[in-house]
Amino acid sequence: MLKNTHTHSKALLTTLILAVILFNACSNVFAASSTYQLPLTKITKFNEVVTYDKDAWKETISTKDEPDDWFEGDADKIRAKNKITFTSIFSKKKGASSLFFTMFKSFIPDNVSLLLFSDPEIKDLISEEIDEQYGKYEVWMVYREVWDYTIKNFEDDADHSNRRQFILKNPEDYHDILKDYNNWVVELNETLNEFNMTIFKVSKKDFLWDLIINDLIIASPFESYLHRVIEELNINNAKIRDNTLILERNERELFTIEAKYGDQGFQSSFIVRNKNGKIIYEIKNSDSRLLVYTISSVTIAVIVSITIIAIIRRKRIHSVKMSKEVAYKPLKYLIILAVIVTLATIIIFIPFKPSK
């Protein structure tokens, strides 16, 4: 009888441990690629401005431009937050035309975009030429609901619905897409000259800067991916430390930005330091997993503790020949509760499964 009781105890404890392992494993499931993987789950992330030294900003960066010229909304106000909900992700090949008008949107003037997308002959010609000449790239295409920085409560509807973002599966493709874009700019200007318009090539430093400001998402392993991006772009004033990309910029004075990446592949913090190393601007990130993971972890920890106590207590009960059923039922219900809590958490945060 005592031997069977020990066997039941071990089996139940094993079940609980397996449930916890399953929880941890599923929270880190990756969307696979051949070399790198994109760890992105259906979550909502919040970015909050925690530091803004306005005087130091003016001395270092600009007396005219403020953080809200870098980020949309009230990014120049401490405690302002923005909100981003990831809604879907697709793994596919995309033509260069889509990438040019998405990844280089900041560098294409509005009047040029209006012309290219309003004149049917030019639009068709440009799109066909781009895709035929420059081909396609392997990407993850992510759709997001984006709320701008605000010190007020978020509205129900996003400021930017269904906003699209491309993450290149191969980090060396950032070099190739920049090269292709600049070659296309030279060709495009021949057409734009007829309309007294022109656009400019994009430097490596400006391209990387724009990617970071627009919340570049990276693939895992993060440090390797970041190193490859920097190496391929051959940027001397950028370096990688752990999962942090550090880039030097020079406006009124020299300053550095630090974009740190967390376990989902997006920025967990964004820091601006002046030449003396003082933080003059900082954004910190949190996401919707935190509360649920905390509650789940505490719940599981409590249940494990109670289970251990119950096992010890049951041994004592058996030592005085109490009924096995009386001792077994509470423990059984605790195990079932632990499994339910774990599985419920996993279901809530099922990772994306990229569509092909």
Identify whether residues 197 and 89 lie together within a single domain. Answer: yes
What CA–CA distance (Å, rounded) separates 80 from 28? Answer: 30
pLDDT in tens, 207-255: 999 999 999 999 999 999 999 999 999 999 999 998 999 999 999 999 9
* Structural domain total, the chain: 2
Amino acid at 113: S
Range of the domain at 18: 2-27+291-348
Residues 184 and 327 in one domain: no
- Confidence band, pLDDT 50/70/90 cuts, at residue 316: low
- 304 and 227 in a common domain: no
Q: What share of residues in the chain are helix, strand, coil (percent, to 5)?
A: 50, 25, 25
Pair (240, 264) in one structural domain: yes
pTM assigned to the model: 0.74
Give 84-128 pLDDT, tens digit per residue.
999 999 999 999 999 999 999 999 999 999 999 888 878 777 888
- Distance (Å, rounded) from C-alpha 100 to C-alpha 63? 32
Do 15 and 335 meet the contact criterion of CB atoms below 8 Å apart?
yes
Query: Residues 332, 337, 342, 343: is their CA dihedral positive or negative?
Result: positive
Task: Determine which of 88-92, 151-155, 268-272, 332-336 has the lowest per-residue pLDDT on average.
Answer: 332-336
Question: Percent of the chain at pLDDT above 70?
Answer: 71
- What is the pLDDT at residue 126? 83
Closest CA to 351 of 25, 30, 20, 46: 30
108 and 23 assigned to the same domain = no
Same domain, 147 and 265: yes
Check whether residue 283 and residue 315 sit in a common domain.
no
> DSSP code of 87?
E
pLDDT band at 276 (very low <50, low <70, confident <90, very high): very high
Question: Is residue 356 assigned to a domain?
Answer: no
The type of residue at 133 is Q
Asked whether the beta carbons of 59 and 278 are under 8 A apart, the reply is: no
pLDDT band at 282 (very low <50, low <70, confident <90, very high): very high
Q: Two tokens at 89?
A: 């992700």
Same domain, residue pair 165 and 262: yes
Are residues 298 and 279 part of one domain? Answer: no
Residue 199, in any domain of the structure: yes
**341 three-state secondary structure:** helix
Together in a domain, 241 and 340: no
In a domain, 33, yes or no: no
Instruction: Clarify whether residues 167 and 303 are in a common domain.
Output: no
Range with the lowest mean pLDDT among 63-77, 242-256, 324-338, 342-356?
342-356
